Amino acid sequence: MTTPIGYYPGCSLHGTGRELDQSIRALAEVAGVDLREIKDWNCCGATAAHSLNHDLAVALPYRTLALAEDQGLAEVLAPCAACFSRLKGTAVRLARDPKLAQKMTEITERPYRGTVRILSIIEFINRLLDAGLEAKLTHPLGGLKVAPYYGCLLARGEDIVDDDPEQPSGMERALVAAGCEVVPWNFAVECCGGGLSMSKTEAVLDLSDAILSDAEDAQADAIVTGCPMCHSNLDMRQRTINAAGRGPHDLPVVYLSEILGLAAGIEPERLGLDRHFVDAMRVAERMTERSA
């Protein structure tokens, strides 16, 4: 692949979602893809802008889209599921509503012709597989049982996600290629409480507990996700969930890109697997070496 793919890490990938950032960059390097971070990108506004002011909720992603277009990027990867949803949602609305596009041009004083295509982490990884990553997966994970967790933002949104909203399957090809066994389970598209993590922690504990329990019932060794928000609810708060008298759970929650990174033989630390709250290094232990 010679054309560079734009990269929009989003705010949480510098903080809570660091391992997602690390693993994406490492994986891109192995696959030989030129990831170019959009210069001077800004926050997508997330749930906050969306909740309080819908102009702002469009204007913030608009600026980033305009920057990407200006910087000559035809495709932009937004690995954070929330950012992906905001950016792509905005792109779809702008394409459908010229009046809104005009208004945004006025507000931001930036032109945008609508040429940027936003990729989710799943689309990106499937793209890498198309481009030959499969051959480079030299360390399959020896039948690691995984529960692919799509949550809300990688499953729903008719014009945003290109997958079956109730029975999504976008991650399966990559997981199977990485040597995992995908377990059938019930909570692949249930909500974890998402953006209300800090302000309605109680709800998040309930919902995340149910997700973890169902994955355990399905005998999963790990939950695989593509969303830093889900990740922080399921991983970072797993101890809190236990402390609240639920569970107890001890289930690693890993990013799709980490799984692929491991299968590609990248050292777990480089992928950020040591940064998890629930020990995820045990997933790395399942790496096997395939004779070339």
Distance CA 247, CA 242 (A): 5
Tell me which stretch binds other proteins (CB under 8 A): 28-36, 171-179, 199-207, 246-254: 199-207
The token duo for 71 is: 């910087």
Q: Is 244 in the site for other proteins (CB under 8 A)?
A: no
Nearer residue to other proteins within complex by CB, 106 or 289: 106
Q: Is 113 in the site for other proteins (CB under 8 A)?
A: no
Spatial contact of 45 and 52, defined as CB atoms under 8 Å apart: no
Nearer residue to other proteins within complex by CB, 1 or 183: 183
What number of chain residues touch other proteins (CB under 8 A)?
62
- Site residues for other proteins, 169-188, by CB under 8 A, read 186
Distance CA 8, CA 268 (A): 23
The one among 1, 4, 36, 43 contacting other proteins by CB under 8 A: 43
CA 204 to chain centre: 19
Nearer residue to other proteins within complex by CB, 43 or 92: 43
Q: Is 165 in the site for other proteins (CB under 8 A)?
A: yes
Spatial contact of 287 and 139, defined as CB atoms under 8 Å apart: yes
Bridging pattern class, strands 253-255 and 222-225: parallel
Q: What are the two backbone dihedrals, phi and then psi, of residue 27, each rounded to the nearest 5 degrees? A: -65, -40
Strand partners, 290: none
Q: In the complex, which residues of this chain contact other proteins (CB under 8 A)?
A: 11-12, 14-16, 18, 40-43, 45-56, 59-60, 63, 107-109, 151-152, 156-158, 164-167, 186, 189-191, 193-196, 198-203, 206-207, 217-218, 236-237, 240, 274-277
